Amino acid sequence: MSSASVTAELFRRVMGHFATGITVVTVEREPGKVHGMTANSLASVSLQPLLVSICVDEESRLLSFLKTQRRFGVSILNDTQQALSEHFATGEQGPDADARLGIRYRWTESRIPLLEDALAHLACNVVAEYSAGDHTIFLGEVESVDLGEGQPLLFYRGQYRTLQS
């Protein structure tokens, strides 16, 4: 199949067959306030130094916060946290939504925000960014990590899944 016949819709459908976990990328948007964005583009890039990449839509609100702050948290969601994934993919953010959904943040010593109760966390400093089509790829050097308990929330063929479903 030549690339000329690959429509965006077909490309999305094909890439949907690549099962992923789900993360929420968090950035301090103003002192003490957090903006989060659901993202499944997280990839492990390098062990020496420790690098990850995320791809951020040019249209997203997160982009300008990330370009300014140049550091971000990644919370890998567990299988009880689908509502958080939906919220950070679509919802209006703020104290009301945080209270309704029971969203709590924790901060690293270097003031990188993370979601409490996630399956795992990474705190990263941006070391490079590359414009790539309608997204920007950010390379983040990993400053700290931690592991929680539970099973991952998965995304496959446009649907949330768990290891059992």
Ligand X SMILES: Cc1cc2nc3c(=O)[nH]c(=O)nc-3n(C[C@H](O)[C@H](O)[C@H](O)COP(=O)(O)O)c2cc1C
Binding site for ligand X (CB under 6 A): 22, 37-41, 55-57, 60-62, 89-90, 155
Distance of closest approach, residue 56 Cβ to ligand X, in angstroms: 5
Q: Name every residue whose Cβ is closer than 8 Å to that of residue 48 and which is 6 or more positions away in sequence.
A: none
Distance of closest approach, residue 109 Cβ to ligand X, in angstroms: 25
CB of 35 or CB of 121, closer to ligand X = 35
Distance of closest approach, residue 135 Cβ to ligand X, in angstroms: 6
CA atoms within 13 Å, Cβ hemisphere of 139:
11
CB of 1 or CB of 38, closer to ligand X = 38
Distance of closest approach, residue 86 Cβ to ligand X, in angstroms: 7
Residue nearest to ligand X (CB): 41
Measured CA to CA, the distance from residue 53 to residue 62 in angstroms comes to: 15
CB of 54 or CB of 123, closer to ligand X = 54
Measured CA to CA, the distance from residue 94 to residue 33 in angstroms comes to: 8
7 burial level (CB within 10 Å; 0-12, 13-18, 19+):
exposed
Return the closest-CA partner of residue 76 out of 44, 106, 104, 115. Answer: 115
Measured CA to CA, the distance from residue 31 to residue 82 in angstroms comes to: 27
What is the token pair recorded at 134? Answer: 């309608």
CB of 39 or CB of 109, closer to ligand X = 39
Instruction: Count the Cβ atoms, other than its own, within 10 Å of residue 33.
Output: 14
Distance of closest approach, residue 2 Cβ to ligand X, in angstroms: 27
CB of 1 or CB of 163, closer to ligand X = 163
